């Protein structure tokens, strides 16, 4: 069990061996959340929700009907559902999905993700490229990683720019969708 207070909200979260950061709230996730302000009515996607910390916090501040959480791991989805109910936001939508594959939702104000660090960047590439198309104009993709250059370059290529903050050894990237098409028109899906 993890007990954490973030943005004035106390959460109790069940975890399990095999899930990301099962012993404590991940420092990178907390760094990412320190760069985000939630408001009632905002539409938010927690992409790769794990035990549900990000999505549950968003649901408590934006309204549970405005938040979607997803993960590729069935155990993560099961535990996120238990945690959402246990923290009073049982109506949040939680889906088993490999990235965006099983999600039809669009028009997000915020997409938040702490993507897996893989050497080929396949998951992160998909999250960035597909995420762009799921944001409304003015919507923001917020990611946290330990790597800077690849993410900076990819986010600039897709979004046309990115803000980066270094916090506690992590890089938090905030990219805003300002146009209908990708900034880089070289072979990406329009």
Count of residues making up the chain: 190
Within 8 A by CB and 6+ apart from 55, the residues are 44, 46, 49, 67, 68, 69, 80, 84, 92, 94
pLDDT of residue 105: 96
In this structure, is residue 32 part of a structural domain? yes
In this structure, is residue 43 part of a structural domain? yes
In this structure, is residue 187 part of a structural domain? no
In this structure, is residue 184 part of a structural domain? no
In this structure, is residue 96 part of a structural domain? yes
Does 190 score more than 50 pLDDT? no
In this structure, is residue 77 part of a structural domain? yes
Mean pLDDT of the chain: 93
Range of the domain at 137: 2-176
In this structure, is residue 69 part of a structural domain? yes
Number of domains in the chain: 1
pLDDT of residue 185: 53
CATH number of the domain at 142, please.
3.40.50.150
Global pTM? 0.93
pLDDT per residue over 91-143, tens digit each? 999 999 999 999 999 999 999 999 987 667 999 999 999 999 999 999 999 99
Burial (CB count <10 Å: 0-12, 13-18, 19+), residue 40: exposed
In this structure, is residue 183 part of a structural domain? no
Dist. CA 50–CA 77, nearest whole Å: 7
């Amino acid at each position: 069990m993890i007990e954490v207070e973030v943005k004035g909200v106390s959460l109790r979260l069940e975890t399990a061996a095999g899930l990301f950061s099962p012993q404590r709230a991940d420092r990178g996730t907390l760094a990412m959340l320190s760069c985000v302000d939630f408001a009632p009515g905002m539409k938010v996607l927690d992409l790769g929700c794990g035990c549900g910390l990000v999505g549950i916090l968003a649901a408590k501040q934006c309204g549970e009907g405005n938040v979607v959480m997803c993960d590729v791991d069935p155990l993560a989805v099961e535990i996120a559902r238990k945690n959402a109910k246990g923290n009073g936001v049982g109506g949040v939508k939680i889906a088993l999905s490999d990235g965006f594959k099983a999600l039809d939702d669009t028009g997000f104000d915020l997409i938040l993700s702490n993507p897996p660090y893989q050497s080929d960047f396949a998951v992160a590439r998909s999250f960035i490229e597909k995420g762009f198309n799921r944001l409304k104009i003015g919507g923001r993709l917020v990611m946290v990683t330990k790597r800077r250059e690849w993410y900076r370059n990819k986010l600039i290529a897709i979004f046309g720019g990115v803000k980066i903050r270094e916090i506690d050894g992590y890089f938090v990237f905030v990219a805003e969708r300002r146009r209908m098409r990708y900034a880089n028109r070289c072979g990406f899906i329009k």
